[in-house]
């Protein structure tokens, strides 16, 4: 496995390959990331995993400076998982000058859910992903379904720019108790880690209610928010949305969508100082 830090060296190394596969990450890897790598491995003739903590997608009060950088451990894990190339540029390499050209995704897709609580987040995500695509020129890229809205945004970006890249979704990997694997789980204390599963359980409760015929979305969402709040969480949202566009379904269409795999329940909540997200398709 090669570890490459410069764009020029990466392009030179990939010059002889016809179908690069890319797994973009911010490092601090866990088993969920490695599952993406294993899924991507047979999809191309060379597998590139990028490791870059992208300043553009962090708000001023968020954890950019304290976000764990564990490059050596990440590279060891990636090599064991079958990765061929680790692209680990410095900030100066990927952004040699201020990144004034940016990708601004449509507000109807990004001013809700994560974009509402983290304004500018998806501009940062799209900008760095577009730049990684330009560096690697992959034919396939694998993204985790845990970041449900991000996956949709990237799919639409690739489609609208007519990029010759297949975007593959990888199912959310979970711990034995149901907690979605996330690098930010490392921030949880032992007590918080035991409590953290309540987010996925709240989404499961919502999903079961929908499958049983519930149509009062406001009540369902309010009850889920109240239940987490009572346990000491600070929820941003627990909501029911259409899979197709992440808009709130009309009451009249909820039952049909629930029966035909057309809904998704999504949640984001802070436990102590750690903000967790999760989702569950219905």
Enumerate the active-site residues: 33
- What SS3 state is found at 153? helix
Alpha-carbon distance of 11 to 241, in angstroms, equals 40
Question: Pairing between strand 263-271 and 274-281?
Answer: antiparallel
Residues across the chain? 282
**Contacts (Cβ under 8 Å, ≥6 apart) of 220:** 206, 209, 210, 214, 240
Alpha-carbon distance of 72 to 121, in angstroms, equals 27
Alpha-carbon distance of 29 to 53, in angstroms, equals 12
Please report how the helices 190-211 and 251-259 are oriented relative to each other, as an axis angle in degrees rounded to 10.
Answer: 100
């Amino acid at each position: 496995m090669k570890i490459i830090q410069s764009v020029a060296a990466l392009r030179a190394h990939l010059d002889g390959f016809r179908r690069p596969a890319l797994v973009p990450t911010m490092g601090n890897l866990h088993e969920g990331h490695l599952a993406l790598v294993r899924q991507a491995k047979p999809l191309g003739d060379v597998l590139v995993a990028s490791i870059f903590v992208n300043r553009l997608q962090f708000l001023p009060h968020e954890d950019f400076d304290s976000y764990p950088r564990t490059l050596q451990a990440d590279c060891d894990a990636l090599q064991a998982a079958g990765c061929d190339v680790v692209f680990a540029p410095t900030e100066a390499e990927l952004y040699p000058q201020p990144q004034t050209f940016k990708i601004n995704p449509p507000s109807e897709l990004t001013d809700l859910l994560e974009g509402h609580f983290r304004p500018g987040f998806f501009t940062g995500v799209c900008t760095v992903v577009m730049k990684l695509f330009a560096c690697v020129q992959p034919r396939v890229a694998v993204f985790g379904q845990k970041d449900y809205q991000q996956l949709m945004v990237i799919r639409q970006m690739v489609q609208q720019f007519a990029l010759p890249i297949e975007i593959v979704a990888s199912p959310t990997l979970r711990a034995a108790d149901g907690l979605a694997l996330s690098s930010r789980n490392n921030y949880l204390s032992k007590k918080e880690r035991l409590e953290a599963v309540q987010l996925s359980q709240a989404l499961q409760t919502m999903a079961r209610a929908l499958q049983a015929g519930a149509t009062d979305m406001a009540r369902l969402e309010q009850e889920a928010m109240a239940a987490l709040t009572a346990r000491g969480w600070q929820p941003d949202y627990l909501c029911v949305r259409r899979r197709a566009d992440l808009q709130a379904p009309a009451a009249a269409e909820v039952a049909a969508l629930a029966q035909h795999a057309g809904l998704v329940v999504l949640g984001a909540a802070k436990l102590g100082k750690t903000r967790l997200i999760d989702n569950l398709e219905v």
